[in-house]
């Protein structure tokens, strides 16, 4: 891990998405070095102002190639954030096509597992990994069954990775509520990112104690906290960032 005040080397998987772009800007403003890993088409649509590596987390081969490229650039990392995931269908489980269920788990759970497993050996002693879960992983609501199941799995993976990599590397999770990004429109690179959100925003916000929809910067702070030294005695934890919608 870089010393106090020293720049850190941080890899962001899914870093070309809405939260990822805000996180890149925040980390770089503090002097950290960042490499973004994301789908080739997403990198083309939102080219980051920092080195980037194309990866498709459906493919174990693509992950191996991307992590090999990452390791040649940086033999060790100080931090890793796994933001990969999507959801572009809302409806009851009874009406959920099997291929959609399979793909949600393939990306949000299997892909996150494969990519995190591949990157963890590069993280230096004292480093940190942050996995992005969701409030829906425990605060179950109707019509989000596949996504909720995948994110519940992410929470379990974060805790297991934490136990199995301690004390060398800390692994924690951030579980946001709804955030005003392309995710609410079907996902970065998967949707019309200027369209209206798929959720009834006014009704959602009316039930939030903080009475507003989250913006990407609202999620950046908790991620940065878990990456940095102020959380050095935390591992296997979940930060729920949802405007008070869910209070476990």
**Catalytic residue numbers?**
147, 151
Contact 239, 231 (CB under 8 A): no
**CA dihedral sign of residues 235, 119, 31, 180:** negative
181: left (phi over 0), alpha (psi -120 to 50) or beta: beta
Look up residue 50 and give its two tokens. Answer: 């920092």
Rg (CA), the chain: 17
Q: Which residues of 28-64 are buried (b: 16+ CB within 10 A; e: fewer)?
A: beeebbbbbbbbeebbeebebebebbbbbbeeeebbe
Question: Measuring CA to CA, how many Å separate 71 from each of 112, 209, 238?
Answer: 18, 44, 28
> For residue 6, how many C-alpha atoms fall within 13 Å in the half-sphere facing its CB?
7
Q: How far apart are CA 63 and CA 118, in angstroms?
A: 8
Q: How far apart are CA 184 and CA 162, in angstroms?
A: 29
The 3-state secondary structure of 168-220, one letter per residue: CCEEEEEEECCECCHHHHCCCCCCCCCCCCCCCHHHHHHCCCCCCCECHHHHH
């Amino acid at each position: 891990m870089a010393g106090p005040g020293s720049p850190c080397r941080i890899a962001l998987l899914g870093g070309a998405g809405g939260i990822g772009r805000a996180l890149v800007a925040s980390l770089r403003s503090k002097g950290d070095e960042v490499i973004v890993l994301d789908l080739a088409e997403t990198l083309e649509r939102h080219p980051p102002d920092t080195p980037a590596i194309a990866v498709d987390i459906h493919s174990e081969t693509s992950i191996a190639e991307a992590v090999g490229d990452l390791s040649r650039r940086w033999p060790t990392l100080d931090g890793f954030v796994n933001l990969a995931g999507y959801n572009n269908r809302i409806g009851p489980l009874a009406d959920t096509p099997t291929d959609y269920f399979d793909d949600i788990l393939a990306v949000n759970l299997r892909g996150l597992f494969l990519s995190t497993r591949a990157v963890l050996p590069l993280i230096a002693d004292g480093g940190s990994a942050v996995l992005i879960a969701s409030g829906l992983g425990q605060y179950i609501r109707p019509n989000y069954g596949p996504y909720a199941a995948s994110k519940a799995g992410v929470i379990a993976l974060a805790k297991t990775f934490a136990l199995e990599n301690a004390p060398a590397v800390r692994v924690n999770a951030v579980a946001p509520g709804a955030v005003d990004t392309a995710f609410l429109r079907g996902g970065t690179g998967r949707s019309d990112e200027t369209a209206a959100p798929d959720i009834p925003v006014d009704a959602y916000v009316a039930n939030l104690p903080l009475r507003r929809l989250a913006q990407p910067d609202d999620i950046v702070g908790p991620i940065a906290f878990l990456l940095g030294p102020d959380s050095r005695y935390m591992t296997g934890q979940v930060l729920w960032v949802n405007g008070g919608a869910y209070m476990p």
